[in-house]
């Protein structure tokens, strides 16, 4: 442990963020990193606990507590404090395939389980990770390291999201020949088009993909496996196949008037903005625009918040974000103790920005849409909202959110974005490969493994376990790679 009293001597200090009214002028990342001296002090706050919950990645109270990658957090915090940055990067890369992604988009499960946070402020683990990986790129430590020997085995990875990329990275390091198929025009899956630039600028993805290409991984974009190329051809051409296509089937809202023009799934809205931003600098008419429109966003998760921030940047006339469930408490409840994930109300960047522009938090709780209204041309003109309350369902006995009779009220809306989550895999992929799916349409795998019912075909990420976090997808991709390697070689050192 570098400084045994660091957690007593230094207060938590975070990177400065641009003010909401300033940062909405563009789609850039908006934090200014601390200087090296301050960063070392923040790393010195790590207590290097006897039981480091920050790296445990275990399930407590139904939620993951600590890092799912089991990152060696106390070790690289100590190395940062000592100024051994290159060794800190090597320690980080031992467990993490893409720290440049997780340090930007992960909700920092590590910090919520930090022992410093039990009675004070946790260590700035996420920002320390950011400092390590960005210094590695600046100093040239993050560079291609192709395998010295090839095994002669070939693997197809279908999907270039975090799980597919993690599996590809690990298997290539082992010496296998890996080809990644991506149906979109750019690599990255939902990290490319589902996460806005202000959270993850796309040159960060491209930077890592360039290294992976130099290491020998082949990327084939614009190829929709199951349509442009048959599953049979893929299976004939490769020794193993990994299905990592994500849980990309969006959950819909069933309400009268759903066919009105102006209702979109959140992922399609976000994709159109990012693609236009990358292709032409966001020229008018090339994307789904919220400019001068009254917008309703259905869903209170990260995707809903990303929609709020994007709509504000478009210049929306108003933004209303609907959440079916009650507002979470501002502080931990007694039945939600540390180191469990804190089930508390979080105000994210998009909500901060909407409040700065419109004067109030855009979220409305225990509310949903009963009916979408449209004009004589079929265009969306408004929505009838209804309040909800929790009641026990007589049939199932479960507590359900049910409409409150007489609470209906109408609001104006020219754009509705559905951010209600995802249901599972898309059927044209699973049926073409002949793999079984479970009740949630995730690809079925043998208990505790990534093996599907079809010999030689494995699955990873959201397609395997359902919608989750980027960090969990990376872990699942790494675990899948280990199984694939063992099936090919009879043993594995991954």
Alpha helices in 96-189 (DSSP H): 99-105, 109-112, 125-139, 162-173
β-partners of residue 387 are: 367
Query: Which DSSP state fits 310?
Result: H
Euclidean distance between CA atoms 98 and 474, whole angstroms: 8
Crossing angle between the packed helical segments 125-139 and 36-44, to the nearest 10 degrees:
140
CATH number of 28's domain:
1.10.1060.10
Cα dihedral 205, 207, 212, 217 sign: positive
Q: Give yes or no: residues 415 and 447 share one domain.
A: no
| CA gap 457, 450 in Å, rounded | 9
pLDDT for res 392: 87
Residue 378 and residue 464 in one domain: no
Single out the residue in 420, 443, 476 at which a domain terminates.
420
Same domain for 289 and 238?
no
Last residue of a domain, one of 378, 395, 420: 420
Spatial distance between the Cα atoms of 180 and 221, rounded to a whole number of angstroms: 8
Question: Which pLDDT score, from 0 to 100, does residue 2 have?
Answer: 67
> Residue 492 carries which DSSP code?
-
pLDDT at 1: 62
Residue that has been written with the tokens 């001068």 in this structure:
292
Per the structure, the complete domain to which residue 77 belongs is given by: 6-139
Q: Is 27 part of a structural domain of the chain?
A: yes
205 burial via Cβ count (<10 Å: 0-12, 13-18, 19+):
buried
Residue 149 counted as domain residue: no
The rounded distance, in Å, linking the Cα atoms of 196 and 86 is 30
Classify residue 411: in a domain, yes or no. yes
Q: What is the pLDDT along the chain (494 residues), one digit of tens a residue?
A: 668 899 999 999 999 999 999 999 999 999 999 999 999 999 999 988 889 999 999 999 889 999 999 999 999 999 999 999 999 999 999 999 999 999 999 999 999 999 999 989 999 999 999 999 999 999 999 999 999 999 999 999 999 999 999 999 999 999 999 999 999 999 999 999 999 999 999 999 999 999 999 999 999 999 999 999 999 999 999 999 999 999 988 999 999 999 999 999 999 999 999 999 999 999 999 999 999 999 999 998 999 999 999 999 999 999 999 999 999 999 999 999 999 999 999 999 999 999 999 999 999 999 999 999 999 999 999 999 999 999 988 888 888 999 999 999 999 999 999 999 988 899 999 999 999 999 889 999 998 899 999 999 999 999 999 999 999 999 999 999 999 999 999 999 99
> Domain for residue 370, yes or no?
yes
Q: Structurally, how many domains does the chain consist of?
A: 3
Whether 199 and 123 share a structural domain: no
Cα–Cα distance between 95 and 335 in angstroms, integer? Answer: 32
What pLDDT does residue 112 have? 96
Same-domain pairing of 295 and 401: yes
Q: Is 27 in the same domain as 73?
A: yes
Token pair 């509310």 is found at: 367
Q: Which of 165, 172, 170, 169 is nearest to 150 (CA)?
A: 172
Where do the H-state alpha helices sit in 174-253?
190-193, 202-214, 231-237
Same domain, 430 and 406: no
Based on the fold, state whether residues 353 and 274 are members of the same structural domain.
yes
pLDDT value, residue 48: 84
Q: Does 277 lie in the same domain as 214? A: no
Residue that terminates a domain, selected from 420, 440, 472:
420
- Within a domain: 145: no
Name 432's bridge partners.
none
CATH of the domain at 429: 3.50.50.60
Whether 1 is covered by a domain: the verdict is no
The conformation of residue 75, written as its DSSP 8-state character, comes to: H
- 411 and 429 share a domain? no
Looking at the domain assignment, is residue 371 inside a domain?
yes
Query: Could you tell me if 443 and 406 lie in one domain?
Result: no
Judgement on whether residues 32 and 119 belong to the same structural domain of the protein: yes
Residue 147 is assigned to a structural domain of this protein: no
What SS3 class is residue 6?
helix
């Amino acid at each position: 442990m570098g400084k045994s009293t660091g957690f007593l001597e230094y207060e938590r200090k975070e990177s400065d963020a641009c003010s909401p009214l300033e940062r909405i002028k563009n789609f850039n990342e908006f934090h200014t990193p601390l200087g090296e001296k301050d960063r070392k002090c923040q790393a010195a706050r790590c207590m290097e606990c006897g039981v480091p919950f920050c790296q445990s990645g275990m399930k407590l109270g139904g939620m993951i507590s600590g890092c799912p990658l089991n990152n060696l957090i106390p070790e690289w915090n100590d190395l940062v404090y000592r100024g051994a940055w290159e060794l800190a990067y090597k320690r980080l890369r031992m467990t993490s395939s893409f720290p440049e992604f997780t340090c930007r988009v992960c909700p920092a499960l590590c910090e919520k389980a930090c022992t410093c946070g039990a009675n004070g402020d946790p260590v700035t683990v996420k920002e320390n990770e950011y400092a390590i990986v960005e210094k590695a790129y600046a100093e040239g430590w993050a560079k291609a390291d192709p395998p010295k020997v090839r095994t002669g085995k070939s693997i197809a990875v279908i999907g270039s999201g975090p799980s597919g990329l993690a599996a590809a990275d690990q298997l290539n390091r082992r010496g296998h020949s890996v080809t990644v198929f991506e149906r979109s025009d750019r690599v990255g899956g939902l990290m490319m088009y589902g996460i806005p630039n202000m959270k993850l600028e796309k040159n960060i993805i491209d930077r890592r993909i360039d290294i992976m290409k130099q290491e020998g991984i082949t990327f084939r974009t614009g190829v929709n496996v199951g349509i442009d190329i048959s599953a049979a051809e893929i299976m004939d051409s490769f020794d193993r196949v990994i299905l990592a296509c994500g849980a990309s089937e969006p959950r819909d809202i069933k309400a009268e008037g759903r066919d009105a023009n102006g209702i979109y799934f959140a992922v399609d809205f976000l994709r159109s903005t990012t693609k236009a931003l990358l292709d032409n600098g966001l020229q008018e008419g090339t994307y789904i625009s919220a400019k001068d429109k009254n917008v309703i966003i259905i869903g209170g998760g990260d995707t809903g918040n990303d929609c709020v921030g994007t709509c504000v940047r478009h210049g929306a006339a108003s933004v209303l974000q609907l959440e079916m469930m009650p507002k979470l408490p501002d502080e931990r409840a007694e039945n939600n103790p540390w180191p469990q994930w804190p089930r508390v109300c979080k105000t994210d960047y998009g909500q901060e920005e909407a409040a700065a522009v419109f004067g109030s938090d855009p979220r409305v709780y225990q509310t949903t849409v009963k009916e979408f209204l449209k004009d004589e041309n079929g265009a969306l003109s408004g929505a009838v909202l209804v309040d909800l309350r929790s009641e026990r369902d007589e049939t199932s006995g479960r507590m359900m959110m049910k409409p409150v009779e007489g609470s209906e009220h109408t609001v104006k809306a020219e754009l509705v974005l559905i951010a209600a989550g995802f249901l599972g895999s898309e059927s044209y992929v699973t049926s073409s490969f002949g793999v079984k799916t479970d009740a949630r349409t995730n690809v079925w795998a043998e208990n505790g493994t990534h093996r599907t019912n079809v010999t030689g075909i494995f699955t990873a990420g959201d397609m395997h376990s359902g919608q989750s976090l980027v960090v969990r997808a990376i872990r699942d991709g790494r675990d899948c790679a280990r199984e694939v390697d063992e099936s090919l070689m009879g043993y594995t050192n991954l």
